[in-house]
A and B are shown apart, each in its own frame.
Chain A
Amino acid sequence: MEKLQQWQRVKEIVASALELPAAERRVYLDRACSHDTALREEVESLLAAYTDTSALSEIPGQLLIRAELFISA
């Protein structure tokens, strides 16, 4: 239950941070995470991962495309 509550907090903060211009994120995170370093680390870790999701977005789409190109050839 505690984990679930923590996840709710983490995802709210991450989602809100992503809606802000990059320049405003630090101030927001300072406020939202207060002195909770574990929370801050988790949030920062996800924000870092978000910047590297470009490869992820194409995986199944690419599979569909390739399968269809092959089958229809």
Chain B
Amino acid sequence: MSQLPSQPVTELLVRWRGGDHDALELLIPVVYKELRQIAHYHLQRERPGHTLQSAALVHEAYLRLLDQKPFEAESRAHFLAVASRLMRQILVDYARGHAAEKRGAELKVDLDAALVVCQERSAELVALDDALSQLSQIDEQQGRIVEMRFFGGLSIEEIGDVLGLSRSTVKREWNVAKAWLSRQMKRGAHGEAPAVAEG
């Protein structure tokens, strides 16, 4: 993902923040491409050699960006981090079955199609989302790291850039977050209350 120049994005972000709506029009195709690359990375891991198109998820993220007010994003990586959050919301909306209410008919078809495919995993996704929300209350930074890593496909280095942390710190936080989520999801599955360290 690093082959794209980051400077134009930064400039566009500044212009957008300054109220220039045209800047978002220019920005979105760049983000779209990057999100496609994130998706491609996932695809390559799964099935080497396949070049498949991402579509509905990225498209939905794109539309939600249009709906949003400009946010404070200093860099390409930061912008992608926000896009990661949108993708999380989209996936979880699917899984919870609310996606259909939010968009028009044409996109609904795509979203429904994706939902059918995702259905068998949707309980896990909802459990993950619940656990992640709880983790964010205990440790906001870990919550953000998980969001960017799981939902945005950002690398440890990129997350470090966004949060202003060293690679080793991100890795340490990521390790602990994974352990906490894994434990929390198991407890959730057994109906136990969320727990923080007592004492």
Contacts and interface: CB of A to CB of B under 8 A. Distances in A.
Interface of A: 3, 6-7, 10-11, 14-16, 18-19, 36, 38-39, 42, 45-50, 52-53, 56-57, 59-72
Contacts, number: 129
Interface of B: 39, 42-43, 45-47, 52-57, 88, 91, 110, 113-114, 116-118, 121, 124-125, 128, 138-139, 142, 150-151, 153, 172-173, 175-176, 178-183, 185-186, 196-199
Contacts of A19: 172
Given A59-B121, A60-B91, A68 B182 contact: no
A39 B197 contact: yes
Contact of A15 (B54, B173, B183, B197): B173
Nearest to B174: A15
Contacts of B128: 56, 59-60
A71 B114 contact: yes
Contacts of A65: 42-43, 46-47
Given A46-B179, A68-B55, A7 B196 contact: yes
Contacts of B42: 61, 64-65, 68
Contacts of A57: 178
B117 A69 contact: yes
A28 to B, nearest CB: 14
A39 B42 CA distance: 38
A39 B197 CA distance: 8
A69 B172 contact: no
B62 to A, nearest CB: 14
B125 A11 contact: no
18 contacts: A7-B139, A10-B197, A14-B175, A15-B176, A42-B198, A46-B176, A46-B183, A48-B183, A56-B178, A60-B151, A61-B153, A62-B46, A67-B56, A67-B118, A69-B52, A70-B114, A71-B55, A71-B56
Given A18-B179, A50-B178, A63-B91, 9 more contacts: A36-B199, A42-B197, A47-B179, A49-B179, A56-B178, A56-B181, A64-B54, A68-B43, A68-B57
